[in-house]
Amino acid sequence: MIFDGAWDGKPWKLLAVAVFSSAMLAACVSDDSSGKQEAPLIADGEYVPVRPESPPGWPAIQWPADNAFTPAKAILGRRLFAETRLSRDGTVSCMWCHDDARAYSDKHSIGLSRGVRQQFTLRNAPTLTNVAFGKRFFFEGDVSTLEEQALRPLYASGEMDMTGSEIEAMLAADSAYPRLFRQAFGDAPITMAHLTQALATYERTLISAHSPYDRWAGGDTGALSASAKRGAAVFFGKGGCAACHAPP
């Protein structure tokens, strides 16, 4: 899916075209042991994610061999992304620092993100928009997959401060998550590996290709204001910003 134009904080509006199958929207999964039908995969009004494609001229999205896209994984990842129970005090989710109303960037105005117990972290969380095209993650660049990146904040004492066993137990005891994991991963047990695969799958769908900058980079000279063009000259020139913040 591709975000189109100005961000209004409601990606489901922009992604209505992603509801590609009414059958998928109402899909039920049979419980072989009881013959009963499980509840629909998603609620009314939610979009069904589709496998994102790279915009023309962009590099291909590299999907891991062991984590191919499925709508069920993306739906589960979206739920987990907003789940505050993944944090020690129940206040912090992935979306807490990667706010969908701000193009998945940090909503904290002071420059540093906040974790559990309102602790300041050492960093300002970057946007996740177009993170599918990233090759190295964290400021140190020491992680090469989104699956591994998704794991660290969950365990970090200043961010979400949980353990894998605690998270797995919470999800297994929940009324909805076992069904969502089963629809995404079959009858395999709920594991941190599956959790991070679902989160990474969702994050790889967060693609924006039609912003004013994208149009300007594509040859529309009028898409950016004069001041924005001056800023771009510094960003890609003497400022050196693009060394770490490079477009796809």
**Tens of pLDDT, residues 85-127:** 999 998 888 988 888 877 777 776 667 777 667 777 777 777 8
Give me the helices (H) in the chain, please: 11-14, 22-25, 71-81, 94-97, 146-155, 164-173, 177-185, 192-203, 212-217, 226-236
Per-residue model confidence (pLDDT) at position 32: 44
Looking at the DSSP bridge assignments, the partners of residue 190 are none
Per-residue model confidence (pLDDT) at position 161: 86
Per-residue model confidence (pLDDT) at position 115: 65
Contacts of 53 by beta carbon, 8 Å cutoff, 6+ apart: 2, 61
Per-residue model confidence (pLDDT) at position 22: 37
Which residue ranges form the domains of the chain, and what is each CATH number?
Answer: 2-208 (1.10.760.10), 212-243 (no CATH)
Range 145-150 contact pairs with CB under 8 angstroms and sequence separation of 24 or more: 145/64, 145/200, 146/199, 146/200, 146/203, 146/204, 147/64, 147/67, 147/193, 147/196, 147/197, 147/199, 147/200, 148/196, 149/200, 150/94, 150/195, 150/196, 150/199, 150/200, 150/203
Answer whether residue 227 shows pLDDT above 80.
Answer: yes
What are the tens digits of pLDDT across the range 144-156?
Answer: 889 998 998 899 8
Structure tokens at 120: 């300041």
| Dihedral sign (CA 69, 70, 73, 78) | positive
Per-residue model confidence (pLDDT) at position 68: 95
Per-residue model confidence (pLDDT) at position 106: 76
What mean pLDDT value characterizes the chain? 80
Per-residue model confidence (pLDDT) at position 97: 81
Per-residue model confidence (pLDDT) at position 120: 74
Mean pLDDT of 197-224: 92
Answer whether residue 24 shows pLDDT above 60.
Answer: no
Per-residue model confidence (pLDDT) at position 155: 92
Mean pLDDT of 152-168: 90
Q: Are 89 and 167 in contact (CB under 8 A)?
A: no
What are the tens digits of pLDDT across the range 125-145?
Answer: 778 888 898 888 876 777 888
Identify which has the larger pLDDT, 37 or 185. 185
Structure tokens at 46: 């939610």
Per-residue model confidence (pLDDT) at position 232: 94
Answer whether residue 15 shows pLDDT above 70.
Answer: no
Per-residue model confidence (pLDDT) at position 247: 73
